[in-house]
Amino acid sequence: MESRGLYMLKPALVFGAVFALTTLPALSQKDIDLPQLGNPADLALSPAEEAKLGAEVVAEMYQYDYIVDDPEITEYLSNLGWKLAAADTSSPTPPAFNFYLIADNRINAFALPGGYVNINAGTIVAASNESELAGVMGHEESHITQRHMARAAGDTQVADIATWIGVLAAIIAGSANPNVVLGAISVGQGINYQRQVAYSRDDEREADRFGIRKLAGAGYDPMGMATFFGKLSQQTRLYGNRLPEILLTHPVNTARIADATERAAQYGPRVVKDSIEFSLMRARTRVLETDSPNEAQGYFAGELQSGKDTPENHYGYAYALANLDQNPQALAALQPLIDAYPRQPNIALLQAQILMQMGKTQDALNIYARNFAAYPRYSPGIQKYGEALINAGKPDQARQVLLSYNQTQGSRPDTYRLLSAAARASGNTAEAQYQLANYLFERGDLRGAVEQLNAGLRISSINSDDRAKLLARRKQLIDSIPKDELRALQRQG
């Protein structure tokens, strides 16, 4: 079964360093739409330091299973995010964005320095349409492109990067608990939280401006951002003291909503049709977000019984049933979508998954193969076809599929895990250790990666070519570690 419930992160769990939107001060640019160039931010945090901090936090999030390894949702978020980035006229060369689904059913999103955009599962489910979700993502991207974290570090004259690690970590891990946030900030050289929030309003408005511009340029409804935050603001009376997470990290007031609405109106009214992928991935996220497939199955069954005969509800119902191993019922629930969208890849992948679970291996492999032929660069299709081939006892063919396009490696760490599984199934243990090391390295576990290479080198039957390959990769990884960190790792190990 693929599904698992997404549990809210405990406030006590603190990560390495994160940037949630409204907690840091920044420069004011009320009347200027272009970013400040030339860049004093580099004096506080260089781009290389930002990238290092972001990568460290991602590694921590992987360690605590805070990132959801669902290739289909991640691919959808990546496509949406890059579509917005391509429409950003203020940043002709956008940073190397990475997009992640976060295992948290609270409504929130956050940006990490270095180009990491993180969307909570609860945010996708809460978005009424694709433009609202795009509005949240465009806002987060703008915090990165405008380098708000580095500018904030310069404004507050915080020279110690470790201080920012403590302050920023609390915003993600404990923003639902003000005591955690205030405690972390008090450690951070006595920075006043209320003062930070007041200063951060300029960052928020700037991110709104650039985000709305991206929405319009990418073909979405520029009102999406305003309607999403406006909707949440209207719901605050229902929460009492337990506001949605996004309102704790993204304070919204009537003036800000009005400003966003006015800016969006300058682009004129737009009628934008949501993509089928938005509907399907919203349903998929809802299934993953719930604590059990039974809960998800009950929700979608109720929606269909009430007359809401939509692709989203059919897909969600079928996916929940599949995760309950009720495969004949799942296939029947999916059939209307199979007939209506015969070439849609997400529907085909779910159909193949159900058939595999029913023991109809060849039928499933035929669907995976057709999908792969139609979309040879679609990473989720490549991975799931490869995994099915491994499970069907065809690891060599799986390896050929997984290596068919290089961009699936690195951009999707799970490809390395599957390559390792294929090599092991073929009896090539050294190759399996090599690919497993690559998988761990992509997830930020450098120590684990080196340990896997060392394990490969201890294989008694290893040949000279494999030994040379493992040694070269180990040297490459060790050489990437700064000397002070390498000494610390050696002391620990």
pLDDT of residue 221: 94
Higher pLDDT among residues 190 and 484, named by residue: 484
* Mode of pairing for the β-strands spanning 109-112 and 116-120: antiparallel
The region, left, alpha or beta by phi > 0 then psi within -120 to 50, assigned to residue 231 is alpha
pLDDT in tens, 316-344: 999 999 999 999 999 999 999 999 999 99
Residues 92-107 have a mean pLDDT of 86
Mean pLDDT of 205-221: 89
Out of 90-99, 109-118, 382-391, pick the least confident. 90-99
How does pLDDT run across 61-79, given as a tens digit for each residue? 888 788 999 999 999 999 9
Structure confidence at residue 246 (pLDDT):
55
* CATH for the stretch 292-492: 1.25.40.10
Q: How far apart are CA 462 and CA 110, in angstroms?
A: 45
Determine the 3-state secondary structure of 434 from DSSP: helix
Binning pLDDT at 50, 70 and 90, where does residue 25 land?
A: very low
Model confidence pLDDT, tens digit, residues 164-191: 555 555 555 544 444 443 444 344 333 3
Q: What is the C-alpha separation between 48 and 261, in angstroms, rounded?
A: 36
Q: pLDDT tens across 307-320, in order?
A: 999 999 999 999 99
Given this model, what pLDDT does residue 205 score?
Answer: 79
In the chain, which residues fall in CATH 1.25.40.10?
A: 292-492
Give the integer Cα–Cα distance in Å for 409 and 280.
Answer: 25
pLDDT of residue 321: 98
State both tokens at 227. Answer: 């309607």
Per-residue pLDDT at 101 exceeds 80: yes
Query: Which tens digits make up the pLDDT trace of 365-392?
Result: 999 999 999 999 999 999 999 999 999 9
Mean pLDDT over 122-132 rounds to 95
Sheet containing 116-120: give its strands across: 98-102, 116-120, 109-112
**Mean of pLDDT values over 261-271:** 86
**What is the reported pLDDT for 210?**
87
Contact indicator for 372, 343 with CB cutoff of 8 Å: no
Residue 364 scores a pLDDT above 70: yes
Among 44-53, 191-200, 433-442, 476-485, which stretch is predicted with the lowest mean pLDDT? 191-200
Q: Are 40 and 214 spatial neighbours (Cβ–Cβ below 8 Å)?
A: no
Identify the band that residue 106 occupies on the pLDDT scale cut at 50, 70 and 90: confident
State both tokens at 307: 């007359």
Contact (Cβ atoms closer than 8 angstroms) between residue 432 and residue 423: yes
Q: Locate tokens 């030339």: which residue?
A: 38
